[in-house]
A = this chain, B = another copy of it.
């Protein structure tokens, strides 16, 4: 058996390399068009009415991951409700804790993240060009779009929304961010923190408690700005549970708003 364990390592390493190089179509190779049609409740004929081949279909699936742009809008509307009868710092804490709870508990959001990370694993793969009518006169070829370009647009849109939220918060409090940060760099950091915490929470729920996102974000913002936030006074989930903005009724209301927007 001498040398066997090294060969085994070589084989496993080869698998990791090939996994990384796998063409995107191969990911769906195990899924037949019949299975897709059945899942969608249509005929196989209908499938080929809409997609010329599996390559075109795969590209459409990848480009469909352009969702989940709602949570910051919800956070802002929750904030408007909350700010009526609280200090700004309490309102921000309440919104952040509530936002995290909704995101962490939402099966649709979790499925979106799994799908996005599937795309991330293949972010360097080029997508076939979007369908154009071949009977039209030839147009100059568009620059090649990759899977990562789709993800990049999703992330930029999310950062835009976080930026808008924080700008609104700052204007409410007549505050500005301290050098060297600006609102957009704060939003990039908060977005990355949220993305990372969602991933860690999915595989290790015990690692991320309900308050961590709120505390880290509020602390980050307070340190970078002149907000009237005292990090030690970020409200805990238990404290928030005693207030009306996060009663079960209010939480299910926030979730209902999220669901409604998802259906639109």
Contacts and interface: CB of A to CB of B under 8 A. Distances in A.
A148 B117 CA distance: 13
20 contacts: A11-B36, A11-B46, A14-B40, A15-B31, A15-B36, A15-B58, A18-B39, A19-B28, A26-B29, A29-B29, A117-B117, A117-B118, A118-B121, A121-B121, A181-B231, A188-B200, A188-B208, A188-B212, A189-B212, A191-B196
Main secondary structure of the interface of A (DSSP, over half): helix
A203 B155 contact: yes
Interface stretch (A91-99, A215-223, A242-250): A215-223
A27 to B, nearest CB: 6
Interface stretch (A2-10, A134-142, A256-264): A2-10
Interface in A27-45: 27-31, 35-37, 39-42
A114 B122 CA distance: 7
A247 to B, nearest CB: 23
A260 to B, nearest CB: 18
Number of copies: 2
A29 B22 CA distance: 10
Contacts of A10: 40-42
Contact of A19 (B115, B192, B197, B207): B115
Contacts of A202: 120, 123, 148
A125 to B, nearest CB: 11
A129 interface: no
A196 B116 CA distance: 13
B11 A37 contact: yes
A187 to B, nearest CB: 10
Contacts of A115: 16, 19-20, 121
